[in-house]
């Protein structure tokens, strides 16, 4: 069967078409809305299996990291094909391994940011004028949502300390990247992900970013010991390097908040190497290197 998820720029319309095609191909899966972006775009989630204690995979936090939704949608397609169509994955017998286990995939937390990164000011919808003012017409480094808030700086985990670090770095208001907002959890995208995690007991969570071939795994005193063990397994499987928080990546991220709120493991994967946005020609190699690791995360 022809592959649905291809290496093409995943603007909102393209991504939604992929989601709808995946749902048609795999009617056993569930496709649901779990929130809306600032500009009113739906945040979609695909699920496989029971939702009592699933694993959460989330991507598309930053505008320039638009390879990450493609990676998660490809992972869903490959896993679903193995589970329901008898397709083979080389390393893991998916049908047996996923019996009784659930996975939830939120491919794009920040669809407005990706739309802006791909299409410029018009991607901001009713916030177009504000986006032009913030960017001064240059969208080549845009990571934020439609009003210049970096979603992965907006979670309530050490937000005040991060905000002070931002000020010291000269980031004092809405910006294309690294501004955490005027309050923790101020953005609808952040709020949607927080509500989702409060409604479901995700046993652990993976936040997919780019780039660096790195895995972040710890945050503060509530980091569980099994998170360290899992991180070592992920590093061995992927060849990625384990790193600790530092600088403007010290606080305020989804992984940080998840660990702090629930004392359960969470990880940030920085996929690929180079300069964002990573070239689409790298996609197949990046995905092939990570498929086993993503599957391992579903089984642990």
pLDDT at 97: 81
- Judged against a pLDDT cut of 90, whether residue 250 lies above it is answered with no
E-state strands within the chain: 30-36, 42-48, 55-58, 103-106, 204-210, 214-216, 241-243, 266-271
**How far apart, in Å, do the first and last CA atoms of the chain sit?**
30
Mean pLDDT of the chain: 96
pLDDT at 88: 82
Q: Which residue has the higher pLDDT, 185 or 96?
A: 185
| Distance in angstroms (rounded) separating the CA atoms of residues 33 and 291 | 26
Region of 207 (left: φ > 0; alpha: ψ -120 to 50; beta: rest) is beta
Q: Per-residue confidence at 99, pLDDT binned at 50, 70, 90?
A: confident
Taken in order 186, 188, 191, 193, the sign of the CA dihedral is: negative
| Distance in angstroms (rounded) separating the CA atoms of residues 271 and 195 | 26
Determine if the peptide bond prior to 217 is cis (ω within 30°). Answer: no
Q: What is the average per-residue pLDDT within 163-185?
A: 96
Q: Per-residue confidence at 100, pLDDT binned at 50, 70, 90?
A: confident
Q: Per-residue confidence at 294, pLDDT binned at 50, 70, 90?
A: very high
| Distance in angstroms (rounded) separating the CA atoms of residues 157 and 193 | 14
DSSP assignment string, 174-191: --SSS---SSTT-SHHHH
Beta-strand relationship, 55-58 and 204-210:
parallel
- Judged against a pLDDT cut of 90, whether residue 249 lies above it is answered with no
Which tens digits make up the pLDDT trace of 23-76? 999 999 999 999 999 999 999 999 999 999 999 999 999 999 999 999 999 999
| Distance in angstroms (rounded) separating the CA atoms of residues 222 and 106 | 25
Beta-strand relationship, 55-58 and 42-48:
unpaired
Residues near 129 by Cβ (< 8 Å), separated by ≥ 6? none
Which tens digits make up the pLDDT trace of 272-286? 999 999 999 999 999
pLDDT at 19: 98
Q: Per-residue confidence at 233, pLDDT binned at 50, 70, 90?
A: very high
3-state helix, strand, coil in the chain (%, to 5): 45, 15, 40
Q: What is the average per-residue pLDDT within 99-117?
A: 96
Quick one: DSSP state of residue 240?
P
Region of 165 (left: φ > 0; alpha: ψ -120 to 50; beta: rest) is alpha
Determine if the peptide bond prior to 90 is cis (ω within 30°). Answer: no
Dihedral angle at the C-alpha atoms of 17, 18, 19, 23, nearest 10 degrees?
Answer: 100
pLDDT at 1: 78
Which tens digits make up the pLDDT trace of 118-129? 999 999 999 999
Q: Per-residue confidence at 93, pLDDT binned at 50, 70, 90?
A: confident
Q: Per-residue confidence at 241, pLDDT binned at 50, 70, 90?
A: very high
């Amino acid at each position: 069967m022809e592959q649905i998820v291809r290496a093409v720029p995943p603007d909102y319309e393209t991504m939604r078409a992929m989601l709808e095609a995946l749902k048609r191909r795999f009617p056993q899966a569930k496709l649901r809305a779990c929130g809306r972006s600032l500009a009113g775009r739906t945040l979609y989630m695909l699920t496989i299996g029971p939702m009592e204690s699933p694993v959460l995979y989330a991507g598309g936090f930053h505008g320039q990291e638009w390879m990450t939704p493609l990676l998660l949608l490809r992972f869903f397609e490959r896993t679903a094909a193995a589970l329901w169509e008898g397709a083979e994955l080389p390393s893991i017998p998916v049908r047996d391994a996923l019996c009784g286990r659930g996975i939830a995939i939120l491919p794009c937390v920040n669809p407005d940011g990706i739309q802006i990164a791909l299409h410029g000011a018009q991607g901001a919808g009713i916030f177009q004028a504000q986006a032009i003012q913030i960017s001064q017409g240059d969208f080549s480094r845009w990571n934020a949502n439609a009003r210049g808030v970096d979603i992965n700086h907006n979670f309530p985990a050490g937000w005040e300390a991060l905000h002070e670090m931002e000020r010291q770095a000269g980031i004092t208001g809405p910006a294309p990247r690294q501004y955490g907002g005027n309050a923790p959890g101020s953005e609808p995208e952040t709020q949607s992900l927080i509500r989702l995690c409060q409604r479901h007991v995700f046993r652990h969570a993976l936040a997919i970013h780019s780039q660096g071939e790195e895995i972040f795994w710890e945050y503060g005193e509530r980091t569980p010991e099994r998170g360290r063990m899992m991180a070592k397994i992920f590093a061995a499987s992927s060849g990625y390097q384990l790193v600790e928080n530092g600088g403007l990546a010290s606080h305020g991220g989804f992984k940080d908040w998840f660990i702090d709120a629930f004392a359960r493991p969470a990880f940030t994967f920085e996929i690929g190497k180079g300069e964002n946005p990573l070239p689409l020609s790298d996609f197949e190699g990046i995905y092939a290197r990570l498929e086993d690791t993503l599957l391992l995360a579903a089984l642990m």
